[in-house]
Chain A
């Protein structure tokens, strides 16, 4: 099973600032990586797939990069609605599909 590790666990950022979230895979997943956003009481929402392709309707301030074992989600200028928990998920080697433990982006 591929283990996904996200860091930091919590990121404190002021509105308008840039946020950089990391995701590391225990072995190479090529570019087979997705990012999700989850707000309290809601289902996760797909943001990025293929490591860098934005899903339909996702604002351009969200960008993904990386390949192999190291990945980054960048939110260029945080808006109030972006404070949430973010998860990465690999789909290179399955079953199982595996998620990271999540990064909480909170208001500084």
Chain B
């Protein structure tokens, strides 16, 4: 059974860089059939797609966040990562990693999510 697990600091200071890693188990991140993505959800609000990556390193970003986002992949560790720079309180959210099937279409497996709070 495929599992995804987010990890990283739960508290980040304003203007600093948020860094999260998603570890994939029960399947290979190098599969040609899937992309791997990040989605966030501010407390009490809806879902926002951040971006996604293919095992080859091809990335796709939400234009609203593109200037601050970097998604990378480490196939040797079966992990992919998110960096979001210059964070503000508006970046406080639960961050989810997920697998996308059907060429960047549907998110069919999700991690449990991790709350990241931006505060001094």
**Stretch from A11-19, A75-83, A93-101 that touches the partner:** A93-101
Residues in chain B within 8 A of chain A (CB atoms) = 37, 46-49, 51-52, 60-64, 96, 98, 101-102, 104-108, 110-113
Q: How many A-B residue pairs have CB under 8 A?
A: 65
30 contacts between A and B (CB under 8 A): A1-B63, A34-B106, A34-B107, A36-B107, A43-B98, A43-B110, A43-B111, A43-B113, A44-B47, A46-B108, A49-B102, A55-B108, A89-B47, A89-B106, A89-B107, A91-B104, A94-B60, A94-B104, A95-B51, A95-B63, A96-B49, A96-B61, A97-B37, A97-B49, A97-B52, A99-B46, A100-B46, A101-B46, A102-B46, A102-B47
* Closest residue of A by beta carbon distance from B103: A91
* A residues in contact with B63, CB < 8 Å: 1, 95-96
* Closest residue of A by beta carbon distance from B110: A43
Chain A interface bracket (under 10, 10 to 19, 20 to 34, 35 or more): 20 to 34
Tell me the bound Cα distance from A97 to B64 in angstroms.
12
Cβ B110 vs Cβ A49 within 8 A:
no
Instruction: Type the 1/0 row for A1-28, where 1 means its CB is closer than 8 Å to any CB of B.
Output: 1000000000000000000000000000
CB of A57, distance to nearest CB on chain B (Å): 11
Chain B CB count within 10 A is highest, among A32, A34, A55, for A34
Instruction: Type the 1/0 row for A45-64, where 1 means its CB is closer than 8 Å to any CB of B.
Output: 11001000001000000000
- Main SS of chain A's interface residues? loop
* A-B interface, 8 closest residue pairs, ranked by CB to CB distance from nearest: A43-B110, A91-B105, A96-B62, A49-B106, A97-B49, A99-B47, A34-B106, A95-B60
Tell me the bound Cα distance from A42 to B106 in angstroms.
18
- 7 more contacts with CB within 8 A, not counting A91-B102, A91-B106, A97-B52, are A46-B107, A87-B47, A94-B104, A99-B46, A99-B47, A101-B46, A102-B46
